[in-house]
A and B are shown apart, each in its own frame.
Chain A
Amino acid sequence: MEIDVIEITEQELNRLSAVQMQLLRSAQKSKNKLRITLKEEFALHKKMFYANGMKNSSLVNAKYTELDEAYCRDVGEIVEQLEYGLNLNTPMPDDGTADETTGYIVDYTLPYTDRYRLVRDYYLTINDPSQRLSLYSADATAKRYLGSYYSTLYDVLVAYGS
């Protein structure tokens, strides 16, 4: 899927979490749909203008401008909603400036494998292995969130540490 609903580099794309990716793809789908509707509506109006003898009139461009403005407004709303959603679901930085309740997306609608990946990715950003492990051990949210996967991840983090 080609992404042009917002400007995003390949690198930024790769750093997105599953939820963020989902939000992005959903927004892109909506934009694509709007674009198809714009083309179809314009084609229909163009045919109508031709049938009415208004082929060489200001109506053709004026109608396209009207449809395009509506399209841009709708896309703007999608982008605004997407940016809000992406922001909400951005993993918190571990430099102490952010809210410390959680540094990763806590979304109980996700399957356990996705949750596991989110939490793993977050903890692997912490360079110091011992700090990493100690933070993970203290993370009560992760215990609830990952369920039986908690211990599996603990083993993985230990393995990374050694």
Chain B
Amino acid sequence: MKTVFYRTETKKVDALKTDGAFMLGCAVHDGVIEPALNFGTGRGWNVPQTVKVAACVDEIGKFMIFDDEHGVHISTDGVNYSKMDTFEADDAFFAQERNGDEAFAYLICADKVLIRAADYFSGAGKPVPVKCGVMRYGRLFGADRTDELLLRWSGEDGVQDWKESISGAGWAYMSADLGKILDVVDLNEKLVVVREHGITVLNALGVPENFKFSGEYRTPAISPNTAKVLNGKVIFSTDDGFYRFDGNKAEKLDCPNYDGMQNVTQSAVAGGRYYAALGYCKQLEKTAIFIYDARFSCGYFIDFAPQYLLGGNGKFFGYLNAATHVSEKTSSFKYVSGEMDFGTSDRKVLKRVKVRGSVDKITVICDGKERVFLSPKCELPTHICGRSFKIAVEGASKIEGIEAYAEVKSGN
């Protein structure tokens, strides 16, 4: 029987430029893999067991938590808390404002407001007809509690002033096209009304009779509680991935190799650089956090699922089981390349993998089977035969490139 020896040639693939790669705790940009964020061990004292809503109130330099048992807790570092008050409400949200030299945080529910200034709490018992919103020039703008298309604004006296008049409180109906109001965020000189299927922009400068809806932008369906402002843009999660709105246009976030999350329920921003979203990760098959790094326009996952995610003071805080997990630089990461077939569906031999940096483990996945190499050399001979390959590396320090070399039949 004759044995046929085909002519072969060596082909190289840059494993950092493959489609469908998965990054866990590392950011891939400009041809390098860098260790990125992770969440540290849980710590902190008097952290509530379950967080209903939390906020980093920049204006008064404090973190505040409203828990499931109507407790209001305050912290200066986001880690350790003290219980300050009780607030009998099923549903509430935080708002904040600066009024001259004084700054205030408000915890607002349907029939009362808890007001926190730098050094004291006080309460007010007037009904507030909005269920979420933002303060702007002394007025609270928000979504009506019962009518999903109704936007309300308070009078100039703030969260307790709902007397309607031409210069006082008022309301406006949105068109039904973009669906119900999910949230209202302050973006530079505009108010962005985040809705089920897009964005409506309200110019709200001066007196109410000068208010103007200045644009509507349709997007895929938006997940509630995911719109956050990062570097002068609103980022939010949709059925089609993450989108960004800069005041003039809404566009999909350029995030290479992002394969989408499902059921994104929360988001947070930190450090003027990161947007984090908590949702179901298909690759990990569990709830996890996706981090978008605006500096490098790249993203990665973190295998951690807090009960509540908060951003502030340049960090993320994940609250889980009465402990605070703070974001920090990761001590280990994992990068899994996309499928590499070297341009042919024929069988080929993966000859070697070259890694420019130090790694703890390289795993070669060939046609669904894995082979693990521990403490590998930078140039790892592999000699694995198959049709397609993935390379996974785990490490703790920067990698400046991963190349895979295979012998394929000539002419392919």
Which of A48-56, A135-143, A153-161 forms contacts with chain B? A48-56
* Closest chain A residue to B149, Cβ basis: A56
* Closest chain A residue to B173, Cβ basis: A56
* CA of A49 to CA of B212, assembled, Å: 8
Distance of A67 from chain B, by nearest CB (Å): 9
Contact in complex: A65, B173 (CB < 8 Å): no
| B4 sits at the interface (CB 8 A) | no
| A35 sits at the interface (CB 8 A) | no
Known A54-B213, A59-B209; judge A66-B170 contact (CB<8 A). Answer: no
| B104 sits at the interface (CB 8 A) | no
How many interface residues does B have (CB within 8 Å)? 15
| Chain A interface mostly | helix
Contact in complex: A59, B208 (CB < 8 Å): yes
Q: Which residues of B contact A14 (CB under 8 A)?
A: none
| B166 sits at the interface (CB 8 A) | yes
* CA of A48 to CA of B213, assembled, Å: 12
Contact in complex: B211, A58 (CB < 8 Å): no
Distance of B76 from chain A, by nearest CB (Å): 41
Contact in complex: A62, B164 (CB < 8 Å): yes
Q: Which residues of A contact B172 (CB under 8 A)?
A: 53-54, 56-59
Q: Which residues of B contact A49 (CB under 8 A)?
A: 209
Contact in complex: A62, B166 (CB < 8 Å): yes
Contact in complex: A59, B211 (CB < 8 Å): yes
Distance of A24 from chain B, by nearest CB (Å): 33
Contact of B209 among A45, A53, A56, A65 (CB under 8 A): A45
Contact in complex: B170, A57 (CB < 8 Å): yes
Task: Give A54-91 interface residues, CB cut-off 8 Å to B.
Answer: 54, 56-59, 62-63, 65-66
What 0/1 pattern do residues 201 to 226 of B give for CB contact below 8 A with A?
Answer: 00000001111111000000000000
* Closest chain A residue to B215, Cβ basis: A53
What 0/1 pattern do residues 170 to 213 of B give for CB contact below 8 A with A?
Answer: 11110000000000000000000000000000000000111111
| B165 sits at the interface (CB 8 A) | yes
- Which of A49, A56, A63, A65 lies at the interface centre, i.e. has the most chain B CB atoms within 10 A of its CB? A56
Contact in complex: B211, A52 (CB < 8 Å): yes
Contact in complex: B173, A57 (CB < 8 Å): yes
* Closest chain B residue to A67, Cβ basis: B166
Q: Which residues of B contact A54 (CB under 8 A)?
A: 172, 211-213
What 0/1 pattern do residues 128 to 148 of A give for CB contact below 8 A with B?
Answer: 000000000000000000000
Q: Which residues of B contact A59 (CB under 8 A)?
A: 166, 170, 172, 208-209, 211
* CA of A49 to CA of B171, assembled, Å: 13
Q: Which residues of B contact A62 (CB under 8 A)?
A: 164-166, 170, 208
Contact of B213 among A53, A58, A66 (CB under 8 A): A53
Q: Which residues of B contact A58 (CB under 8 A)?
A: 164, 169-172
* CA of A52 to CA of B206, assembled, Å: 14
* CA of A65 to CA of B165, assembled, Å: 8
* CA of A58 to CA of B212, assembled, Å: 13
Distance of A114 from chain B, by nearest CB (Å): 47
Contact in complex: B165, A66 (CB < 8 Å): yes
Q: Which residues of A contact B164 (CB under 8 A)?
A: 58, 62
Distance of B194 from chain A, by nearest CB (Å): 17
Known A58-B164, A58-B170; judge A63-B212 contact (CB<8 A). Answer: no
Known A62-B164, A62-B165; judge A53-B212 contact (CB<8 A). Answer: yes
Known A58-B171, A59-B166; judge A52-B208 contact (CB<8 A). Answer: no
Q: Which residues of B contact A63 (CB under 8 A)?
A: 166, 209
Distance of A42 from chain B, by nearest CB (Å): 12
Q: Which residues of A contact B170 (CB under 8 A)?
A: 57-59, 62
- Which of B169, B209, B212 lies at the interface centre, i.e. has the most chain A CB atoms within 10 A of its CB? B209
* Known pairs A45-B209, A59-B172 / 6 extra A-B pairs, C-beta < 8 Å: A48-B209, A49-B209, A53-B172, A58-B170, A63-B209, A65-B166
Chain A interfacial positions (CB closer than 8 Å to B):
45, 48-49, 52-54, 56-59, 62-63, 65-66
Which 3 pairs across A and B sit closest by C-beta, in order of nearness? A53-B213, A57-B172, A52-B212
